[in-house]
Amino acid sequence: MAFWTDVDRHLIRYAGPGSFTPEIIDRAAGSFLFTQDGRRILDFTSGQMSAILGHSHPDIVDTVQRQVATLDHLFSGMVSRPVVDLARRLADTLPAPLEKVLLLTTGAESNEAAIRMAKLVTGKHEIVSFARSWHGMTQAAASATYAAGRKGYGPAAPGNFAIPTPSNVDWQRQLDLAFDMIDVQSVGSLAACIVEPILSAGGLVEPPVGYFAALRVKCRERGMLMIIDEAQTGLCRTGNWYAFERDGIVPDILTLSKTLGAGLPLAAVVTSAEIEQEAHDRKFLFFTTHVSDPLVAAVGNTVLDVLIRDRLDERAAKLGAFLRAGLMEIAERHPIVGDVRGRGLLVGLELAADPQSSDQIDARVTRRCLELGLHMNIVQLPGMGGVFRVAPPLTATEDELALGLEILDKALSEVA
């Protein structure tokens, strides 16, 4: 077919083997994708974990059509009403002192800006993050990413350290030992710690209650800022507006992306007036082509409108309980399922490795799900069969979730 010939000839493969799903996607609506040949595929990943309102949400469509016809893009030093409105409204959803907002495009860009700000404000350069972390593919973000992509690209930014992904067993001792090692290796320039409240690319790992409060103490003791990356967890997906709320802490800097634009390229850095003032006094620079773009800012305002109007935090909690119960039933029927974990509509289903097969069972289940009309995403981890990241839109119905569970159950039965 000419299309796939063109794919092979002209597209750079950016995700290793199997970069491209073998389907031509023609359109999308709600919780479903539609292929060129007419197949309907249930989207259990919300696109790239982003489309929290589903695809082609009518409110988003109306906003884009209206905004692109009036004000789409400006010189980066200009501000517009959608940008200021979104900054104010985001601050209203957050605890004090988080009130100063920088609007950007992607998660990598927001983490890059947050790390850059932390280095400038503290006057230091060393960054701590979790093993299995994923913060982006730009220089500082990639240097703080340990889930994948570290080999073959030369030196990472100097001064980056990994600490163990938290376990539920004796985590305080694990954290103490981790920072004992950090202190030994540090050259006395610890600037910040950047962490995800739920490690998504790390296999849907949620640190135990109390961990982040203890981590914040470690940061405070060393004069470090705490950056929380809520690319996938922010804005109602976990059943709360922000996942960090569970732990009763407030980060020094918060980064948002994916869910903020509901599939469009919109990200944010949010911090306190005090930190922003110090950064400004030290001549903070993050001047990019699409900083403060009015088109996507208008979309962000519409995302907030829908989240509030439709109470999607409550809906995510309710549907998350339904989804988790269904996955637990699947786990009882299939010994290959090792664990079900997560919060709200961000849930992980772990499959054990199959020592009898060189073709990993998780890949076979993923392929069979797609054949049956369900798009699933698998995170493959060393020594494990893999973890499915289940993240349907917050607008999905119980019937759609039940359909996805039925297809997954069938694929596991046929493959395992």
Positions marked catalytic? 134, 196, 229, 232, 258, 389
Of 229, 281, 233, residue with least CA distance to 253: 229
Which residue type sits at 182? I
Closest residue by Cα to residue 207 from 215, 218, 197, 222: 197
Give the C-alpha separation, 179 to 171, whole Å: 12
- Alpha-carbon radius of gyration of the chain: 21
Nearest residue to 160 via CA among 118, 200, 197: 118
Q: Measure the CA–CA gap between 267 and 257, rounded to whole angstroms.
A: 4
Alpha-carbon gap, residue 135 to 231, rounded angstroms: 9
SS3 112: helix
**Looking up tokens 């135990």, which residue turns up?**
208
Assigned token pair, 253: 């800097």
Q: With the C-alpha atoms ordered 198, 199, 205, 210, is the resulting torsion angle positive or negative?
A: negative
Q: Which residues, 6+ apart, have CB-to-CB distance to 271 below 8 Å?
A: 98, 100, 114, 117, 252, 253, 254
Residues 293, 74 contacting (CB under 8 angstroms): yes
d(C-alpha 52, C-alpha 207), whole Å: 23
* Secondary structure (3-state) at 221: helix
Check if the beta carbon of residue 139 is closer than 8 Å to that of residue 327: no
Distance CA 256, CA 270 (A): 8
